[in-house]
Amino acid sequence: MQAADVWGQRWAMNTLPMARTYMEVACRKKSLVCLAADRSTMAGLNDLIDQVGPYVAALKTHVDLVDDWTAESWHAFCAKAQAADLLIFEDRKFADIGGISRKQMAGVYDIRSWSDLVTAHLISGPDIVDGLQAGWGDVGRQGGVLLLAQMSSRGNLLDSEYTAQVVAKGKAHDGVFGFIGNGSRPQELTRLRSAVGDGKMIWTPGVNLAVGDGEMGQRYGHPKEAVLAGSDCIIVGSGIHKADDPAAQAKAYADASWQGLSLR
Ligand code: S5P
């Protein structure tokens, strides 16, 4: 089946090339899973991609939590992810003023050179999106920003009024790929989807087949419920990378997410 048929209005209304690339990858792999690759060694990260690459549609990184990071090993890791047909998404949660965010796209990690997507808070105002876009532009690349509209963690300060403002400002900006929503609360997610409409992606962490509370205030909802409530991509970390059999678990998350999409 063609991506346009599978995704319906989301495909028709979402004209950003990168969003369409994601939707096509998801169809090829029958998976709406973004792997949160939160392992601390390069060997652990490389193993993970080798095992779960076929079952996930995107890769989310925290480049600054790797103990033995080097530029060379990171480039090789990114090449491996690209060969596995994965968008690379650095979850940097930028939050500074536009000009500094642009500079933070460079620096030691040089995020602008290998990321397709990054996360940002809109707390400092909409110029952060222009700053991040200028960062990619500085190296002749294109990317998309995912704005944090909600969070999955207990007691977070992103209340419904804040969410509404992030959505209103983000919807109007071409540099915004979409929004991070809370995958642990389907009702909140349904409200977020109706505010966002079909023109932008919603990606959701806080998802686990074992629903309930996680470590240090994390909360989890079921992957299928999140997709039914309007998530376009479930972000799964420990549910996969801490599993005894990461490949089997990644496939289970992929199947649950794909089933959710087919019922929508
Ligand atoms: O609200 C949020 C936003 C994000 S991006 N809550 C989150 O948990 N995340 C990220 O998703 C977090 O940084 C981590 O990488 C991942 C969730 O991992 P898990 O192990 O709880 O599935």
Q: Where are the beta strands (DSSP E) in the chain?
A: 33-36, 58-61, 87-94, 117-120, 144-148, 176-180, 201-204, 212-213, 219-220, 233-236
Ligand 1 atom nearest to CA at 119: 5
**How large a percentage of the chain has pLDDT more than 70?**
100
The single-letter code of the amino acid at 5 is D
The closest residue, in CA terms, to atom 3 on ligand 1 is 151
Confidence of residue 227 (pLDDT cuts 50, 70, 90): very high
Looking at residues 138-163, what average pLDDT do you find? 97
Confidence of residue 73 (pLDDT cuts 50, 70, 90): very high
CA dist 55 and 241 (Å) reads 13
In a domain, 240, yes or no: yes
Nearest by Cα to 86 from 199, 250, 245: 250
Span from the CA of 101 to the centroid of ligand 1 (angstroms): 21
Which domain CATH number covers 83? 3.20.20.70
Residue span of the structural domain in which 32 resides? 3-259
CA dist 19 and 10 (Å) reads 9
In a domain, 264, yes or no: no
What sign for the dihedral angle of Cα 31, 36, 41, 42? positive
Whether the pLDDT of residue 15 is over 90: the answer is no
Contacts of 171 (CB under 8 A, 6+ apart): 196, 197, 199, 200
Whole-structure pTM over 0.85, yes or no? Answer: yes
Nearest by Cα to 148 from 235, 261, 239, 225: 235
**Span 79-125, pLDDT tens digits:** 999 999 999 999 999 999 999 999 999 999 999 999 999 999 999 99
Q: Do residues 246 and 52 make contact, with C-beta atoms less than 8 angstroms apart?
A: yes
The closest residue, in CA terms, to atom 7 on ligand 1 is 205
β-sheet bridge partners, residue 36: 60
Ligand 1 atom nearest to CA at 182: 1
Nearest by Cα to 119 from 98, 94, 143, 136: 94
In a domain, 142, yes or no: yes
In a domain, 73, yes or no: yes
In a domain, 179, yes or no: yes
Counting Cβ atoms within 10 Å, is residue 95 exposed (0-12), middle (13-18) or buried (19+)?
middle
Pocket of ligand 1 (CB under 6 A): 36, 38, 91, 119, 151-153, 180, 205-206, 214, 218, 235-239
pLDDT at 32: 98
What is the total residue count of the chain? 264
Domain count, the chain: 1
The closest residue, in CA terms, to atom 19 on ligand 1 is 237
CA dist 234 and 253 (Å) reads 9
Phi and psi dihedrals of 90, rounded to 5? Answer: -90, 120
